[in-house]
Amino acid sequence: MKKLHLKIGTSSRNELVIEGSGIDSHHLELFCDEYKNVFITDLKSINGTFVNNQELNGFKLLKAGDEVRLGKTHIFDWEKLVLNSDFFEKKEEVVYLSKNEEASTHPHSNKEIDSSKINRELYYIYGLIILLIILMFFVL
């Protein structure tokens, strides 16, 4: 899967347009990296973005099972959307969802995200950086 940056809201300038009350014109962004880490960012929406009933301020790394809600009532099924690699290949197209539709109307692949492998790789990288800093301290 390639990297992805997806803007979501009621405006036709977004890659994913969701119609419904309580959804701002530019409500949120999803970013998915090549390791399938999915980050969500609220775009200072008036009605708010909530992850597991906690208001989102800034950005957050989503994990499987996280519930995303736009405003007071709209549940956004981000997992089915993100796992649908075909959706991202058509990035130039704008997708419209009515308030009765969900991203679940798009088929998705059954690929699992192995976050433990990614975390392990990050620990190795951070460990090497710390080791280099310590060595530089003693050499200088």
Domain assignment present for residue 92? The answer is yes
What is the 3-class SS of 106-136, one letter each residue?
CCCCCCCCCHHHHHHHHHHHHHHHHHHHHHH
What is residue 81's predicted lDDT score, i.e. its pLDDT? 78
Output the pLDDT for position 102.
Answer: 47
pLDDT range class, residue 112, cuts 50, 70, 90: very low
* DSSP code for 89: H
In the prediction, which pLDDT does 85 show? 53
We report the CATH number of the domain holding residue 31 as 2.60.200.20
Q: Which residue has the tokens 């058509």?
A: 90
Residue 118 domain-assigned? Answer: no
| 53-80 average pLDDT score | 90
User: Does residue 119 fall inside a structural domain?
Assistant: no
Distance CA 35, CA 9 (A): 25
pLDDT tier for residue 28 given thresholds of 50, 70 and 90: very high
Is 127 part of a structural domain of the chain?
Answer: no
Q: Print the domain residue range for 33.
A: 4-112
3-class DSSP state for residue 95?
strand
Average of per-residue pLDDT across 99-104: 46
* Lowest mean pLDDT segment, chosen from 28-32, 68-72, 79-83, 108-112: 108-112
Is 29 within a domain?
yes
Residue 65 lies in a domain: yes
Backbone angles phi, psi at 131, to 5 degrees: -60, -45
Strands 95-97 and 16-18: parallel
Planar angle of CA 37, 40, 46, nearest 5 degrees: 175
Strands (E), 10-139: 16-18, 28-32, 38-42, 49-51, 54-55, 59-62, 68-70, 74-76, 95-97
